[in-house]
C-alpha cells in the first residue's frame, strides 16, 4: 500500500468534487502554527518525510480498489490511477527556528493536488516539530550536560522512530532505541535495569557480572537498594576495572533526591580517584526538573529523559494548520483568507515569504511579507524544495540538520529560551500584507457577511 491513503476522507471527497466540477485553479496553501504550546519558539522538523512523500506520491492498484468500495466515481478513480504531484513547495529547512503565523511550508499546485497533501504534511510536521521543540528545551535546561533519550517504551506506537529522530535534531546526544541507532545512525546508550540487579543474590555480584560483560562500556545502576551503599560497591568494581586496565564509565541514579545524592556520590567517587566516572540521572525528568536540579548545583553529568520527552508532556499535540491563501484563475491571483468569529482563527492572505533580521549575530525580529516584496537587510527563511513535482533542494544528513539546528538555536537570544515567562518574539507584517489583508476583509464583509 502506498502513502496516498494516509489522508482524511474529506480530502478525497473534495478532490472528486473539484474534478467533477472542473474547478481546477492553481492554489497556494500555507502550513503554520497559530499558537506555541510552551515557550516562545518552535524548532522545525519533519520536512524530510514530506519530501519523500511528494517524491513517491502515487495511487496503487490496491488503493484504487479500496476507494472503489467507498462510493467514489469510477472515472475519478481512473484519474487517480495516473495521479502525481506536479506543484512547487517552499519550506524552512529542518532545524529552523519558527514563530506563530509564519509559513513554515508553502505549497503551490493545482488545487486537487495541494488539497491531497494537507493531511500528510500536518501529520509529519506537527509531530516532529513538537518533539524537536520539546527536546531543545530539555537540552537547554541541562546547561551543557548531555541528554540521552530513553523514551521508546513510552512512545506513541510506531511513531517512536520519528520522535527519536526529532529529539536528535533538538539536541539530544543519544537514544536507548537500538532500532533508531541502526536506521538513523543516532548513538545508542543505556545501562541496566533494576531487575538485573535484583536477579543476583547480591548487588555487587550484578555489578561484577556487568563489568565482566562490558568492561569498556560499564555503567552501573546504584539506587536499587540504597544509592550511597550502591556507590560504595561501584567504587569496588571501578577499582577492579582499573586493575584490568579499564575504566568504569558511570553510575546511574534513578530515584530519590537526585541533587543531594549526586553530590554525595561525587564525593565518594572523587575521594578514591574515580573523578572521571560520570553520574547519570533519570526518573520522570523534564526541562523544569532538570532546571531545578542545575539551580541546586547537582553533580550530574548526563540526564536520561524518557516519557516526558518522547510524548512532549504536558502538550500531546501541536496545533499546526494548513490554510488556503491564494488561487489563480484566468491568470489572475485572487488572495484568499479565512475570517472567523474567533479573531485568532483568521488567516493571512496572499503568497507570502518570511524574513529574519539579525542584530549582532542574534535574531532581532521576523517579517512576513507578500511574495513580491523584499525586506531590506533581512534573510529569507523559505527555500525552494520542490519544483514541478521534483525535489530540487539538497537533502542534508541527519547530522547536518542537527548541527544547523544547534547553530540556529544559538542565535536565538536567551530571553526567548526561558522555560517560563519568555517574551513574545516580534513577528511583523509588511505594509503590503497589512494593506492586502484590510482589502480582503472589507471585500468579505461586503460580499459574504450581509447586514
Q: Where are the domains of the chain?
A: 9-131+317-447, 141-310
Residues 322, 121 contacting (CB under 8 angstroms)? yes
Quick one: pLDDT at residue 344? 65
Q: How many CA atoms lie within 13 A of 444 on its CB side?
A: 17
pLDDT band at 345 (very low <50, low <70, confident <90, very high): confident
Multiple choice CATH, 141-310, 3.40.50.2020, 3.20.20.70, 2.40.30.110, 3.40.640.10: 3.20.20.70
Average pLDDT value for residue range 166-182 = 98
Dihedral (CA of 94, 96, 98, 101) sign: negative
- What is the CATH number assigned to the segment(s) 9-131+317-447? 3.20.140.10
Q: How far apart are CA 158 and CA 160, in angstroms?
A: 5
pLDDT band at 339 (very low <50, low <70, confident <90, very high): confident
pLDDT band at 343 (very low <50, low <70, confident <90, very high): low
Q: How far apart are CA 432 and CA 217, in angstroms?
A: 60
- Whether the full predicted model's pTM is greater than 0.85, yes or no, is yes
Average pLDDT value for residue range 306-325 = 96
Q: How many other CB atoms are there within 10 angstroms of residue 143's CB atom?
A: 11
Condensed to tens digits (0 to 9), the pLDDT of residues 260-304 reads 999 999 999 999 999 999 999 999 999 999 999 999 999 999 999
Closest CA to 391 of 379, 383, 380, 382: 383
E strand or H helix at 329: strand 320-329
Amino acid at each position: 500500500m502506498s502513502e496516498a491513503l494516509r489522508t482524511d476522507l474529506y480530502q478525497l471527497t473534495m478532490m472528486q468534487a473539484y474534478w467533477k466540477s472542473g474547478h481546477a485553479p492553481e492554489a497556494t496553501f500555507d502550513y503554520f502554527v497559530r499558537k506555541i504550546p510552551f515557550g516562545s519558539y518552535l524548532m522545525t522538523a519533519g520536512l524530510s518525510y514530506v519530501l519523500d512523500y511528494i517524491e513517491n506520491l502515487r495511487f496503487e492498484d490496491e488503493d484504487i480498489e479500496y476507494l472503489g468500495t467507498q462510493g467514489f466515481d469510477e472515472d475519478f478513480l481512473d484519474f487517480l490511477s495516473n495521479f502525481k504531484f506536479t506543484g512547487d513547495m517552499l519550506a524552512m529547512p529542518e532545524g529552523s527556528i519558527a514563530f506563530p503565523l509564519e509559513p513554515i511550508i508553502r505549497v503551490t499546485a493545482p488545487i486537487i493536488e495541494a488539497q491531497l497533501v494537507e493531511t500528510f504534511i500536518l501529520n509529519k510536521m506537527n509531530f516532529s516539530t513538537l518533539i524537536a521543540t520539546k527536546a531543545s528545551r530539555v537540552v537547554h535546561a541541562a546547561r551543557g550536560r548531555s541528554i540521552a533519550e530513553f523514551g521508546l517504551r513510552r512512545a506513541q506506537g510506531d511513531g517512536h522512530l520519528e520522535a527519536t529522530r526529532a529529539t536528535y535534531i533538538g539536541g539530544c546526544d543519544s537514544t536507548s532505541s537500538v532500532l533508531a541507532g541502526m536506521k538513523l545512525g543516532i548513538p545508542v546508550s543505556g545501562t541496566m535495569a533494576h531487575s538485573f540487579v535484583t536477579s543476583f543474590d547480591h548487588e555487587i555480584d550484578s555489578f561484577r557480572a556487568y563489568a565482566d560483560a562490558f568492561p569498556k562500556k560499564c555503567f552501573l545502576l546504584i539506587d536499587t537498594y540504597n544509592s550511597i551503599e550502591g556507590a560504595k560497591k561501584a567504587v569496588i568494581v571501578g577499582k577492579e576495572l582499573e586493575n584490568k586496565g579499564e575504566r568504569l564509565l558511570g553510575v546511574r541514579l534513578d530515584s530519590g533526591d537526585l541533587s543531594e545524592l549526586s553530590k554525595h556520590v561525587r564525593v565518594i567517587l572523587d575521594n578514591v580517584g574515580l573523578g572521571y566516572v560520570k553520574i547519570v540521572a533519570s526518573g520522570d525528568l523534564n526541562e523544569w526538573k532538570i532546571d531545578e536540579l542545575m539551580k541546586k548545583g547537582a553533580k550530574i553529568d548526563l540526564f536520561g529523559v524518557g516519557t516526558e520527552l518522547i510524548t512532549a508532556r504536558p502538550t500531546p499535540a501541536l496545533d499546526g494548520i494548513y490554510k488556503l491563501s491564494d488561487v489563480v484563475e484566468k491568470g489572475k491571483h485572487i488572495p484568499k483568507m479565512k475570517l472567523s468569529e474567533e479573531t485568532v482563527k483568521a488567516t493571512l492572505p496572499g503568497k507570502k515569504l518570511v524574513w529574519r533580521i539579525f542584530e549582532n549575530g542574534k535574531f532581532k525580529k521576523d517579517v512576513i511579507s507578500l511574495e513580491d516584496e523584499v525586506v531590506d537587510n533581512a534573510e529569507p527563511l523559505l527555500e525552494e524544495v520542490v519544483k514541478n513535482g521534483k525535489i530540487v533542494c539538497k537533502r542534508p544528513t541527519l547530522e547536518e540538520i542537527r548541527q544547523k539546528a544547534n547553530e540556529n538555536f544559538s542565535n536565538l537570544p536567551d530571553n526567548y529560551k526561558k522555560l517560563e515567562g519568555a517574551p513574545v518574539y516580534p513577528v511583523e507584517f509588511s505594509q503590503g500584507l497589512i494593506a492586502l489583508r484590510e482589502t480582503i476583509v472589507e471585500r468579505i464583509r461586503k460580499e459574504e457577511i450581509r447586514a
